[in-house]
Structure 1
Amino acid sequence: MEAESRDAGPSAPLMSAIVTEHFVLQSAAGTTVSEAIGRSSLYLSALSSSLIALGFAAQTPGLLSPFAAAALPTVFLLGVFTSARLVDTGVQNVLYLSGIARIRGYYRTLDPEAARYFARWGASEGETDDALGSLAVKSGPLAGLFTAASVIAIINGVLAGVCLALLTYNLVTDHHLPAALAVGLVTAAACLTVFFRYQHHRYLSVQR
């Protein structure tokens, strides 16, 4: 009786639950993408607005420095929070896609013809689906390099480098350009190093 039950295929309640889970995972994955777009747009809008305001403030003597001191650090902090959250949404998206990949792998076992209709994601013959394969990204240290979080982090790192370079040029080294450029480059590199190490650690925990 047990052998006949297995040959008959999955029960109707099980298939209903699997299809429902598939739909829920797809909806959740779409939600992470929408949130990433919204947060990225908010940060870029704040940055562009601040830069435009700086252009107007530069026309008034004595206004540029206090305005920049207030606006640019605020935008930088917003970028830090945004990039950190974008890493979280990226990790969530990979987890949801992993769940979908498992379900698709089960679909392929339902019928000998099923493999024709449920193509593998980034996997060779005989292997299971790779969640990152659905994003056309290979697993490894560079998996998160081209994410939305990386884009925001790079822009934010450049912002931090420019701010400290200007501060060094005007207040610390008495208009010594090479020293200001060195400070800016080191600052940007340090910000990006910290971010990419954090992002790699977060994505590595998903790939294990």
Structure 2
Amino acid sequence: MEAESREAGPSAALMSAIVTEHFVLQSAAGTTVSEALGRSSLYLSALSSSLIALGFASQTPGLLLPFAAAALPTVFVLGVFTMVRLVGTGVQNVLYLSSISRIRGYYRTLDPEAARYFARWGAGEGETDDALGSLAVQGGPMAGLFTAASMIAIINGVLAGVCLALLTYYVVTDHHLPAALAVGLFAAATSLTVFFRYQHRRYLKVQQ
């Protein structure tokens, strides 16, 4: 009886559960994209508002430095929280897409013609490669360079450089521009290096 059941194909209950899971995974993947968009918009809005306020503050003598000291570090910390969460949503999205790839792989076994309609997205054989292929991304060290988190990281790295450059210029070195520029560049490079190492480790666990 069991052999006949296998030859007859999957049960209706199993197919219903698989289709439901496919729908749930698609919805969950869409939720991660929506959250990433919302968090990125919040950070960029806070940054642009702070820069506009900074421009107004610069018109009042003695107000620019205190305002910058309060606003820019706050936005930078918000950017760090945003980056960490965006990496998390990106990793989760890949996991959801990998599960969808697994289900689509099962669909390909249901009929000899099924492979034509459920073609693989990626060039690799693994489910993660297929998931990344659906995002037009290839697995490897460069996979995380073009994420939403990377976009925020670059902006936040520049912000970190500007903060420390201003601190060096106005407080530490008493208006020594070369030193301020050197400190700013070093801070930006350090911030980006730390972020990309963190993101690479997170995505590497998914690809293994």
**C-alpha displacement of 1:80:** 0.3
Residue 177 of structure 1 is matched in structure 2 by 177
Give the aligned residue type for 2:177: L
Partner of 1:139: 139
**2: distance between equivalents of 1:64 and 1:86?**
32
Structure 2 segments unaligned to the other structure (5+ residues): none
* Cα distance in 1 for residues equivalent to 2:64 and 2:121: 52
In structure 2, give the amino acid aligned to 1:190: T
Cα RMSD, aligned residues only: 1.0
Distance 2:126 2:206 in 1: 16
Which amino acid letter does the alignment assign opposite residue 123 of structure 2?
A
Which amino acid in 2 is paired with 1:10? P
Equivalent residue, structure 1, for 2:57: 57
Asked whether 1:25 is paired with 2:16, we answer no
Q: Report if aligned partners of 1:108, 1:115 keep a CA contact under 8 Å in 2.
A: yes
The percentage of aligned residue pairs carrying the same residue is 87
Say which SS state the counterpart of residue 144 (structure 1) adopts.
coil
Q: Unaligned regions of 5+ residues in structure 1, if any?
A: none
CA deviation map 1:172-208 (0-9, x unaligned): 1122211111101110000001000000000011111
Which position in structure 1 is the counterpart of 2:84? 84
1:174 corresponds to which letter in structure 2?
Answer: D
| Aligned-residue offset at 1:123 | 2.8
Q: Cα deviations across residues 128-173 of structure 1 (Å, max 9, x unaligned)?
A: 5421111010001111110000000110000000111111111111
Deviation at 1:5? 1.4
Which residue of the partner structure matches residue 207 of structure 1? 207
Q: Is the 8 A contact 1:120 1:128 kept in 2?
A: no
Tell me the CA shift for residue 2 of structure 1: 2.7
TM-score, normalised to structure 2, is 0.97
Aligned counterparts of 1:164 and 1:30: Cα–Cα separation in 2: 38
Give per-residue Cα distances to partners, 1:21-52, cap 9 Å, x unaligned. Answer: 00000000000000000000000000000000
Residue in 2 that maps onto 1:71 = 71
1:187 aligns with 187
Question: Are 2:16 and 1:16 equivalent residues in the alignment?
Answer: yes
SS in 2 for 1:120: coil
Q: Counterparts of 2:4 and 2:149 in 1: how far apart (Å)?
A: 51
Post-superposition Cα deviations, 1:50-90, rounded to whole Å, max 9, x if no partner, equal 00000101111111111111100000000000000000000
State whether structure 2 residue 153 is matched by structure 1 residue 153.
yes
**How far apart in 2 are the matches of 1:20 and 1:32?**
19
Q: Which residue is 1:108 aligned to?
A: 108
Aligned pairs, number: 206
**Which is worse superposed, 18-27 or 171-180?**
171-180
- AA aligned to 1:145 is L
Residue type of the alignment partner of 1:194: V
TM normalised by structure 1 equals 0.97
